[in-house]
């Protein structure tokens, strides 16, 4: 049985970071939060009526910067979800937060509203680096935010961005060591990606922002694996680390190809409607999303029924990222397809794939850096799942 979750997207930030291509916008004139709340409620009612009964295992407030929402708004969204669906006992309710003092001051109220996990966007513990990443918080605010998260929530995580311009292995060892001295039982460590059409992409194209070359990035990645494993927080996905059992349930729901409703501007969903899995994409521009929801009850701009082959491709893309790997029996149950044994053997031979259980495959170390290519290779060799796949 796969899990069911709800993703709520808050599409606003206090300022736009120059590396970020998330659907996040700055509104100097303020935001009509009550109007957005009413729209979330309408969208949730819409999807609940279409999807029908289900048990919610996780709710994730992502952004943007959802910690700019008031606790009342967050609480009302949680209550609305709980009115439409059954909340599983111990359902995970995560809120992404920026570690500014103003936002940390709201943590207790978020807890009272039903949030039981926060994920803080720390990015770096170095003030100069934070400045060049365009962050509004300082390193000491980040540490204070982590301390408040630790006091308030039993479960918390924070994000760092590494493989930054001119970052040496020594720099990263020092910074990661600091992170590990402050960490809870979950940590996200992302390599800086130069996203198209961001200010960082322009600087990069102009030769003004040099990121580590693939060998240097690999060295930083290996330091990351070594230090997090020693600290008892091994990677359970390419960029996500946790003590065993402390993985983010919401993250796992995505990567295990579970089912989720997405509400808010730009949110995506994967929903089983009339027995068929659908991909749902929502209007990205916040004000247009609002108008659409007010007019039609939802902000979806694309609702696409996924073919079995498309579902298999998506399940591969998600599952191969995981340390636990992709369950080939589950893949066969999703789309009736399995990768040809010969192609698997070839990719294993090239050091791109590996077995991690009798019927489980995952990206091997080298494959994690070219995951899209590996997925393409596996996806192009899918065949009807008649016989059990060969086991290495």
Ligand X SMILES: C[S@@+](CC[C@H](N)C(=O)[O-])C[C@H]1O[C@@H](n2cnc3c(N)ncnc32)[C@H](O)[C@@H]1O
Interacting residues toward ligand X by CB under 6 A: 13, 19-20, 22, 62-63, 65, 96, 98, 121, 123, 159, 161, 190, 192-193, 195
Which residue, 2 or 70, is less far from ligand SF4 as judged by CB? 70
Which residue, 6 or 331, is less far from ligand X as judged by CB? 6
Binding positions for ligand SF4, rule: CB under 6 A: 13, 16-17, 20, 22, 24, 63-65, 98, 121
Which residue, 121 or 258, is less far from ligand X as judged by CB? 121
| Lookup: tokens for 366 | 């080298």
Q: Which long-range contacts (CB under 8 A, 24 or more apart) does 136-141 make?
A: 136/14, 136/15, 136/98, 136/100, 137/98, 137/99, 137/100, 141/99, 141/100, 141/101
Which residue, 17 or 315, is less far from ligand SF4 as judged by CB? 17
Which residue, 6 or 315, is less far from ligand X as judged by CB? 6
Which residue, 2 or 193, is less far from ligand X as judged by CB? 193
Q: Pseudo-torsion of CA 171, 240, 149, 98, nearest 10°?
A: 70
Min separation Cβ 23 and ligand X, Å: 9
Q: Measure the CA–CA gap between 324 and 311, rounded to whole angstroms.
A: 19
The interface partner of residue 172, options being ligand X, ligand SF4, none and the CB cut-off 5 to 8 Å by kind, is: none
| Lookup: tokens for 182 | 């402050």
Min separation Cβ 98 and ligand SF4, Å: 6
Q: Measure the CA–CA gap between 219 and 93, rounded to whole angstroms.
A: 35
Note whether 141 and 101 are within 8 A (CB). Answer: yes
Min separation Cβ 64 and ligand X, Å: 6
The interface partner of residue 369, options being ligand X, ligand SF4, none and the CB cut-off 5 to 8 Å by kind, is: none
What is the end-to-end Cα distance of the chain in Å, rounded?
27
Min separation Cβ 369 and ligand X, Å: 15
Task: Write the CB contacts of 227 (distance below 8 Å, at least 6 apart in sequence).
Answer: 173, 176, 177, 180
Of 83, 31, 30, 92, whose CA–CA distance to 57 is shortest? 92
Min separation Cβ 212 and ligand SF4, Å: 20
Min separation Cβ 16 and ligand SF4, Å: 5
Which residue, 85 or 156, is less far from ligand SF4 as judged by CB? 156
The interface partner of residue 16, options being ligand SF4, ligand X, none and the CB cut-off 5 to 8 Å by kind, is: ligand SF4
Min separation Cβ 285 and ligand SF4, Å: 16
Which residue, 17 or 220, is less far from ligand SF4 as judged by CB? 17
What is the Rg, in whole angstroms, of the alpha carbon atoms belonging to the chain? 21
Of 33, 37, 92, whose CA–CA distance to 60 is shortest? 92
How many beta carbons lie within 10 A of that of residue 202, not counting itself? Answer: 13
Strand order in the sheet with 259-263: 235-237, 240-242, 186-191, 155-162, 117-123, 86-97, 55-63, 4-10, 259-263, 268-273, 276-282, 300-305
Of 30, 41, 116, whose CA–CA distance to 73 is shortest? 41
How far is residue 233 from each of residues 78, 178, 185, 198, measured CA to CA in Å?
A: 30, 14, 7, 32
Q: Which residue is nearest to ligand X (CB)?
A: 121
Min separation Cβ 344 and ligand X, Å: 30
The interface partner of residue 355, options being ligand X, ligand SF4, none and the CB cut-off 5 to 8 Å by kind, is: none
The interface partner of residue 326, options being ligand SF4, ligand X, none and the CB cut-off 5 to 8 Å by kind, is: none
The interface partner of residue 287, options being ligand X, ligand SF4, none and the CB cut-off 5 to 8 Å by kind, is: none
Min separation Cβ 12 and ligand SF4, Å: 8
Which residue, 48 or 97, is less far from ligand X as judged by CB? 97
Q: Measure the CA–CA gap between 157 and 183, rounded to whole angstroms.
A: 7
């Amino acid at each position: 049985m796969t899990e069911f979750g709800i993703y709520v997207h808050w599409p606003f930030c206090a300022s736009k970071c120059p590396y970020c291509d998330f659907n996040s916008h700055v509104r100097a004139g303020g935001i009509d939060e009550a109007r957005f709340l009413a729209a979330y409620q309408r969208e949730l009612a819409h999807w609940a009526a279409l999807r029908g009964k289900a048990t919610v295992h996780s709710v994730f407030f992502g952004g943007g910067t959802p910690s700019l929402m008031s606790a009342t708004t967050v609480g009302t969204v949680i209550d609305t979800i709980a009115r439409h669906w059954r909340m599983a006992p111990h359902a995970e309710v995560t809120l992404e937060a920026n570690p500014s003092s103003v936002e940390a001051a709201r943590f207790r109220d978020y807890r009272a509203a039903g949030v039981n996990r926060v994920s803080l966007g720390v990015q770096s513990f170095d003030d100069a680096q934070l400045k060049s990443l365009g962050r509004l918080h300082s390193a000491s605010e980040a540490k204070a935010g982590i301390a408040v998260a630790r006091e308030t929530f039993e479960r918390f995580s924070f994000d760092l961005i590494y493989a930054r311009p001119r970052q040496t292995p020594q720099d990263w060892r020092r910074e990661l060591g600091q992170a590990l001295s402050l960490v809870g039982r979950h940590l996200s460590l992302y390599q800086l990606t130069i996203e198209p059409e961001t200010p960082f992409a322009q600087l990069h194209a102009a030769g003004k922002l040099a990121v580590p070359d693939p060998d240097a990035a690999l060295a930083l990645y290996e330091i990351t694996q070594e230090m997090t494993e020693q600290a008892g927080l091994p990677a359970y996905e390419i960029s996500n680390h946790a003590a065993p059992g402390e993985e983010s349930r919401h993250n796992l729901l995505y990567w295990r190809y579970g089912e989720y409703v997405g509400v808010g501007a730009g949110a995506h969903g994967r929903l089983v409607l009339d027995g068929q899995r659908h991909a749902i994409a929502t209007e990205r521009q916040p004000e247009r999303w609002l108008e659409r929801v007010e007019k039609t009850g939802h902000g979806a701009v694309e609702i696409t029924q996924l073919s079995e082959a498309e579902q298999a491709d998506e399940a591969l893309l998600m599952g191969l990222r995981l340390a636990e790997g992709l369950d080939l029996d589950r893949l066969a149950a999703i789309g009736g397809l399995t990768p040809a044994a010969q192609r698997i053997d070839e990719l294993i031979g090239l050091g791109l794939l590996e077995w991690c259980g009798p019927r489980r495959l995952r990206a091997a170390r080298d494959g994690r850096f070219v995951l899209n290519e590996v997925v393409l290779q596996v996806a192009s060799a899918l065949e009807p799942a008649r016989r059990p796949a060969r086991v290495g």
